[in-house]
């Protein structure tokens, strides 16, 4: 049974990237549940959202820009 929206949400290659090899270069290792999990950098996340250009990404980009700006202004 597929959950609604998953078919369009999950992809092996993120928009605006060359896939895993591209994303892993700036990934950050985050401990979770006894494992260390590589997570794409925030900049790569923004790059992917810009390239995907979906309505939900367009709504999120100004929020992400504001978060990054306030983080670096401190």
- DSSP structure string for 35-73: EEEEE--HHHHHHHHHHH--HHHHHHHHHHHHHHHHHHH
Residue 42 pLDDT: 85
Residue 17 pLDDT: 74
Tokens of 52: 């995907």
Q: Write down the domain spans for the chain.
A: 15-73
3-state secondary structure at position 23: helix
Average pLDDT of span 9-33: 78
CA dihedral 23, 26, 62, 65 (to 10 degrees): -170
Calpha distance 5→28 (Å, rounded): 27
**pLDDT tens, 27-73?**
899 999 999 999 888 888 888 889 989 999 999 999 988 888 777 55
């Amino acid at each position: 049974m597929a959950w609604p929206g998953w078919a369009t949400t999950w992809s092996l290659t993120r928009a605006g990237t060359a896939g895993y090899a591209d994303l892993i270069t700036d990934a950050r290792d985050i401990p979770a549940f006894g494992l260390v999990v590589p997570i794409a950098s925030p900049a790569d996340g923004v790059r992917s959202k810009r390239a995907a250009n979906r309505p939900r990404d367009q709504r999120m980009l100004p929020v992400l820009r504001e978060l990054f700006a306030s983080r670096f202004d401190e």
